[in-house]
Structures are given as structure tokens and as C-alpha cells.
A and B are shown apart, each in its own frame.
Chain A
Amino acid sequence: MCGAPKQGGALAGIDLSTQTVIQGSVWHEGAPVAGAYVRLLDGTDEFTAEVVTSPEGEFRFFAAPGEWKLRALAPGGKGQRVIEAEVGLNETTVVLDA
């Protein structure tokens, strides 16, 4: 498969001793944003992956240790955040600017 699995939910079955998981949620005006498009860009700003947030506004990527940028796009606005990821669970929030 190559499409994104269901976003959010439990981490059961994911081996956090080997996987670098980057996950979090998209917020706008104090509420989570469902259906936002979140993309993961590498250290050179190149596209690596994109998912659509769950009804709770959640997203999840499986990356590698290093610096990544998250960019969110929704009808309500755009937002971005840079994150330094390590093996294991890396959690963050992306806030949309109108």
C-alpha cells in the first residue's frame, strides 16, 4: 500500500524502538481541524509525505531521525512547524494562521 492509513488512534503494533514517529494535531482558533492536509518536508524542504487529519485533527508520519518541517493546509488557513525528530515518539502541534 502507499496511501495513508487511518490517522490518529493507538500506537499499538508500532515498534517505537525502531520507528521514528512524528505525530500531533492541527489546531485553528482553539479547536482541532479535521480534514486538513499535512505534509512532511525534509531538511531541504522537499516533499516526503502527506496525510489528511482525522476527525480529531490528528496526523502521523513514520520518518527517520533528523530535522523535518510540517506544513498544514486547510480551507481555514495554513501553518507550519519545524521539528527535530529522534527514534521513538515525537509529538507536536501545528497551528493554522487565517
Chain B
Amino acid sequence: MSRTDVLVSVDWVQEHLGQPGIVLVEVDEDTSAYDGGHIEGAVKLDWKKDLQDPLRRDYLDKSAFEALLSSRGIANDDTVVLYGGNNNWFAAYAYWYFKIYGHRDVKLMDGGRKKWELDGRPLSKDAVERPATQYQAAEPDLSIRAFRDEVVQSIGSKNIVDVRSPDEFSGKILAPAHLPQEQSQRPGHVPTAINIPWSKAANEDGTFKSDEELAKLYGEQGFDPSKPTIAYCRIGERSSHTWFVLRELLGNSDVKNYDGSWVEYGSLVGVPIEK
């Protein structure tokens, strides 16, 4: 696995617009961005309405994921290129999610919607229709997903990487600062977690830093590549961004995303918390 297998540039996307076998997918939480203009031919996935189970706090089960991708016209042998707002947080989450269900060829567009917009590249408001497919997902690959018990058991042994901002890590604030600060969780972080904010892995235009810069960054912050790793944030989307960096770009083999993240951990009764 190398960077070019998992990441494509905005130039690459523009050069390959409309090419059969490549499906662009915009993944956002705020899908008004897509509706106001998207990359030509891109289909939309709404992080909440499409990718979350409507009842339980979980992602879709296998059959629901199959139905979703079939309805969007995505086939098993398509190359899926994901992009989105928020510096690709939700697109990175979708990347992790497509990997959970075994999609063979999935990539992120480096810089996401932000890089595309800052470059002044064209956006389209045309509705996108693709003929339905018969998508078949694999059984979920849980080797890349951490659950709460494993997080507690990993305190002091694995790399636990808290990718939230320093003020969330220290418990000064409970959510990213574009959201109201009224939450039910206890503030703080998982004991022994190291705080390497996701944003340190990205340039200001939303693109990822170079492999050399990334390796240096994690090395300096106390990340031990010889140990298994669990990344978490508040709800699991920023940690997908870091999961992508650690596993897909830097090639660490045992990296899990804890998508329960602080919303779950900070609500658990009796677990240790540090501030």
C-alpha cells in the first residue's frame, strides 16, 4: 500500500471526470454543501441520514450498506473516490467504513471540497443519477474497529491517540468550537492517551502533509510504531482522518478507529478518566 493507492489529487479527479468505473462520492454531514454545488457526476452520501443506523448508535449493517450502495449505483469493481467538507473528516470516516465492508478500491481526494473550492474549480448543480447495482458487501472487518472494552484494556499498553484539539483533550471544552458546548459527557481523556490533533496531519488547504512530515510528527509526539494503536475523537470522524494517516499513508498494520469515541467513553460509568 502506498500513498498513490489511497489518495488522489484534485488534478487527477478533474482529469478523470466522467470516466467509467470511477465513482465520485461526496460525504458530508451538512449536505446543503452538495446541494449548492458538487463535483460533476458525484453522488451524495449524508453522514447521518445515509451512513448511520436510524435507531441504534452504530453504522449500517451489511444488508443495509448493500442496499445503500446499490441505490447509489456503486458496483463492487468501481473505483470509489471520496471527498467532502470539514477537511475530509466525514469522507475519511466513509473510507474507513468502505474498508470495513471490504470495498476493493477506495481512495480519498486529497484536500477534499476545500482544496477544490480554494482552487476555484468548477462545481455542478445537476442532479446525478446512476443506474442501480447489486452491491455485495463482505462481512465487517473488525480488525480496524475498536470497541469500549478494548480501549479500557489498552490503557498503558497500546498507543491510544486522542486526535481532538488540546482544549478538548484537557477538558476545557467538550466539543469542537463550532458547536454549542452543552454535552452530557465528563470532560477529559482516556488515561495514557497521547494528544496528536488530527489537524497537525493536514496543511491549511486540507491536503495531507508529506509522508516524511507525518512520520516525523508522530515520532516526536511519542507514537510507538511497534505497538498496536487505537485512535479516537468525539464521534469517530476526525479519528478516521488520523486512522487513514497512520494505517493507509504511514503503513502501520494494527490501527483501529474507536468510533464510539468520547461521546461514548465520557459517558461510561466507572471507567478511568484523566484531565
Contacts and interface: CB of A to CB of B under 8 A. Distances in A.
B153 interface: no
A2 B199 contact: no
A44 interface: yes
Given A3-B30, A42-B167, A73-B205, A61 B178 contact: yes
A77 to B, nearest CB: 11
Interface string A35-76: 101001010101111111000000011111000000101110
A52 B166 CA distance: 22
Interface string A1-39: 111111000000011001110000000000000010100
20 contacts: A2-B89, A2-B234, A2-B237, A3-B90, A4-B30, A5-B179, A42-B165, A42-B167, A44-B166, A47-B165, A48-B167, A49-B177, A52-B33, A52-B85, A61-B178, A62-B181, A63-B177, A64-B173, A74-B118, A75-B119
Contact of A50 (B47, B87, B119, B181): B87
B44 to A, nearest CB: 14
Interface of B: 28-30, 32-33, 47-48, 85-87, 89-90, 114, 117-120, 165-167, 172-173, 175-182, 197, 199-200, 204-205, 234-235, 237-238
Interface of A: 1-6, 14-15, 18-20, 35, 37, 40, 42, 44, 46-52, 60-64, 71, 73-75
Contact of B166 (A1, A46, A51, A63): A46
A49 B89 CA distance: 12
A42 B165 CA distance: 9
B171 to A, nearest CB: 11
A66 to B, nearest CB: 8
Given A49-B176, A49-B178, A3 B28 contact: yes
Given A3-B90, A42-B166, A48 B29 contact: no
A6 B28 CA distance: 13
Contacts of B179: 1-2, 4-5, 49, 62
Contact of B177 (A3, A6, A18, A62): A62
